[in-house]
Structure 1
Amino acid sequence: MDPHFAAPRAYFLSLNRDQMAKTNLPLDADRLWADVMALADITDPARPYTRRSFTALFLEGRAWLARRFAEAGLATRIDTAGNLIGRIEGSDPALGVIAIGSHSDTVPAGGRFDGIAGVATGLEIVRSLREAGVQFRHTIEIIDFLAEEPSEYGLSCIGSRGMTGSLDEKMLDLAEPGGEKLRDALRRVGGDPDRLDQAIRGDIRAFLELHIEQGVVLESQSLDVGIVTSIVGIRRIEIVFQGEADHAGTTPMALRHDALVAAANTVASVRRAAEQLAAEGPDYFVATVGVLTVDPSASNIVPGRCRIIVDARTTNPALTSRFVDIIDRESTAHAAAARVTRASFATLSDGSPVACDAHLRSALSQGARGLALSETDLPSGAGHDAAFMSRISRSAMVFVPCRAGKSHAPEEWADREAITAGAAVIYQAVRDLDQSMI
């Protein structure tokens, strides 16, 4: 028998308590939700929900955010790494900064909540703290990091790399398909690649980020929040195969130099190697080929050039090293078998796994318990700006449930109450940290 019908009175009393806990929160849920929806609506109408970094739509979203920051009394600026920052000075500047943030760019057709919810959360926390009459000891900053998602320049987390001294000259020389270099794009959105050192921070004492889980653990267990324990390291590798373009009808099979054959076999090798390493356990390992370009791309031409980008993620860097060795060896063999050249095998970016700060995690857990919200510890299989921020500051994250774990898709969804609950946990932690952290 369904326990809800077996004990209806107990069930509904429990339901009422849960509902009361989620509605009796120290934030304006309607205002927070309205911000998330308004920013999501700034999108390419042909591809909801798309607001790619460095585009006109991205700049429109940034301008909207800057206005909202200013309305909340935040002093607003763009640093030389292209990050939008809103700031309220604390009573004791020597204590440093407590920062809250995420990113406002999206993947193509990427969803309404990934990144957006974290930026809107920071804004709502500041508004609610001020309305409650809280006097900040620490300076509080809200940060919208530039280009957390992989950009057209082949690099992700551009703003948080810049803020942590991890954006180098080689990265700035990366170019998008049209030829524009990252350094020029950075200038175009308000940054300054010639003064990147001015973006590097040494005054941030804590960084907190809210994000949808992008998985099913919280939803499947009916939990309110996840306190993130660690964030995977991500390595991205570009492999280019160079063959010869030929007529698809007149070139005999034995005389072809088909770059796509080598690339396709390498894609299969990526899958096999990742499955092998993941099966070994207990460490997390996944790998994906998400970019495959063919030149010339025509049905009646043997492909002369092919480029793939491999995305490998793990909690154990040793597994990444083994994986790269396997793909290096096997892609070379696939090129030889297809009678093509492996023109390049290059690391585009490499981020190490990081553990979230134990002190901040404890503050977040206490905040959840104080609000009567259920919580659990969770690792993150996705990359986040918090991983780079951990290089210069204590960093931690809160996950909130998303429907069916769906993310990086138009169907991505998180309930209003879920986002508000996660934001309230960070609100409580910020209040505690502002008084207790030195």
Structure 2
Amino acid sequence: MVNSNRLWSRIHELSSIGQTPDNGVTRFSYTDVEHEANEQVKKYMEEAGLEVTFDAVGNVIGTLPGSKDLPAILLGSHLDTVPNGGKFDGSLGVLTAIEVVQSLQEQNIHLNHPVKVIAFKDEEGSRFGFGMIGSLAVAGNLQKEDLQRKDANGVSLHDAMIKQGYSPENILEARMDDVKLYLELHIEQGKVLEKENVPVGVVTGIAGPLWLKFSLIGQAEHAGATPMNQRKDPLVAASLIISETEKLAKKYENAVATVGTISLAPGGVNVIPGSVEFTIDIRDVKEELRDQLEKEIKDYAATITAEREIDLSIEDLQRVAPVLCSNEIQNTIKESIADQGYPVISLPSGAGHDGMQFKDRFPVGMIFVRSQHGISHNPQEFTTKEDAKAGAETMLKTVCKLDKE
């Protein structure tokens, strides 16, 4: 049994770090606020009997030795948030993994495999425009050119790492090889489990996020002196592309496409914009369908901008392949859910998660817990104490079963 009171207390204690006026949480990567959260989680890990280290990119790693010389079971999630996000996204997964290990220790249950609990750096991508920095490093896929990406204030990822005391020159050392599997618990961030009235479910696969940045350059001119038929207005062209993106995405069963940021210049009330930039996030659990939607959006954008004499460039910010969860791990999670008397619900994840980076490295599994009203990335994000406990019990049982296999 897990200690649900301890887990619940830690969820709320951790959420006070980076708390916003309306009870949300803002913790961007490589900031003093996130550093404070890292130190708090390090304390929890040490209380659970874990040996704690920080790797070259700043992932917090707690290790519990196994009784045999075997590959490690890797558990974890992330601590960073979107702007004014919720207290459960990411953090619940890290804290649940710690609780599972601490409960095993307290109940004198010794595993054959070592367990590593990890709090990944920057899953959300809120600061530098691309996410999963920590899991990319663990997978061995973080590139040195990635370190030159800059935040809104012009600070590079490389320099941000240095400021927080990490070692970007040694990113290859963050790669993990001796791993049996990766298991993560996360809030669903949707309404499937709520609709089915069950607290916990098993994830079948993770939709791959594709992030694109569209840059449109027209001609900035006087808003009053330039006739409508003589304008090269990139904002109008952008609005047409954005509208068509929604229409195209709706043709697909599981695809989604979202414009999350937009900016224009020069930004005067009486000036026709000269340039516009916006991002589109495209996802589907099937890579070929996601890529087909991408092509349709790009083709439409090329047609509209050519007609309006607007210069168009499109940059890939992130392209992550969808990941199917291991059948073996799924079956074990199902058994652990059924052991508690709950109906077994299987569902895909539309949101991306750190486990996606391990597609070609080692098996991945995920447990979802119910999200109230499906709200996430929002201060109103909420999972009940009872549902958090059900998820933690499921992870505990699953880890014990997988350790024996």
Give the partner amino acid of 1:325.
Answer: K
Counterpart selection for 2:16 from 41, 45, 61: 41
Q: Which moved more, 1:49-58 or 1:119-128?
A: 49-58
In structure 1, what is the Cα distance between the partners aligned to 2:256 and 2:297?
Answer: 14
Aligned residues of 1:256 and 1:339 also touching (Cα < 8 A): no
Match in the other structure for 1:139: 114
Tell me: CA distance 1:189–1:392, structure 2 relative to 1, closer, same or farther (3 Å): farther
**1:193 aligned to 2:162?**
no
Contact 1:335 / 1:341 at 8 angstroms: preserved in 2?
A: yes
Name 2:374's counterpart in structure 1.
405
**Structure-2 separation of matches of 1:30 and 1:298:** 54
Q: Tell me the equivalent position of 1:96.
A: 71
Give 1:154's aligned residue.
129
TM-score (norm 1): 0.89
* Structure 1 unaligned regions, length at least 5: 1-25
Q: Distance in 1 between matches of 2:186 and 2:291?
A: 29
In the other structure, the counterpart of 1:273 is 248
How does 1:148-297 map onto structure 2 within 5 Å?
Answer: 148-276=123-251, 278=252, 281=253, 284-297=254-267
Match of 1:394 in 2: 363
The Cα of 1:190 is off from its aligned counterpart by 4.1
In structure 1, the partner of 2:274 is 304
SS at match of 1:375: coil
Q: Identity of aligned pairs, percent?
A: 34
Q: Does 1:429 align with 2:405?
A: no
Contact kept in structure 2, 1:44 and 1:57, CA below 8 Å: no
1:416 aligns with 2:391: no
Deviations 1:394-427 (A, max 9, x none): 1101111111111111111100010110011110
Q: 1:330-384: per-residue Cα shift (whole Å, max 9, x none)?
A: 2122223333211x21111111111111111122112122222332111111111
Structure 1 match to 2:33: 57
CA contact 2:20–2:84 (8 Å) conserved in 1: no
Match of 1:73? 49
**Shift, 1:88, TM fit:** 1.3
- TM-score, normalised to structure 2, is 0.96
Q: What one-letter code is carried by the residue in structure 1 that aligns with 2:400? A: R
> For the Cα contact (< 8 Å) 1:80–1:190, is it kept in 2?
no
> In 2, distance between residues paired with 1:189 and 1:268?
41
Equivalent pairs counted in the alignment come to 404
Q: Distance in 1 between matches of 2:164 and 2:137?
A: 14
Give the match's secondary structure for 2:250.
helix
Q: Paired residue for 1:369, among 338, 349, 354?
A: 338
RMSD value over aligned CA atoms?
A: 1.6
Give the one of 36, 59, 66 matched to 1:83. 59
Preserved contact between residue 83 and residue 126 of structure 2 (Cα < 8 Å): no
C-alpha distance in 2 between matches for 1:378 and 1:190: 40
Letter in 1 for 2:127: E
Shift of 1:44: 4.1
Q: Structure 1 stretch 390-399 or stretch 368-377: which is displaced more? A: 368-377
Q: Distance in 1 between matches of 2:95 and 2:197?
A: 24
Separation in structure 2 between the aligned mates of residue 306 and residue 313 of structure 1, nearest angstrom: 23
Q: Is the 8 A contact 1:261 1:338 kept in 2?
A: no
Worse-superposed segment, 193-202 or 172-181: 172-181
For residue 380 of structure 2, give the secondary structure of its aligned residue in structure 1. Answer: coil
Matched residues in 1 for 2:72 and 2:171: separation?
20
CA-CA distance at 1:261 after TM superposition: 1.4
| Structure 2 gaps, min length 5 | none
Partners in 2 of 1:181 and 1:286 — Cα distance?
30
Q: Tell me, in whole angstroms, the C-alpha distance in 2 between the residues paired with 1:241 and 1:76.
A: 47
The answer to whether the 8 A contact 1:224-1:375 is kept is no
2:292 aligned residue: 322
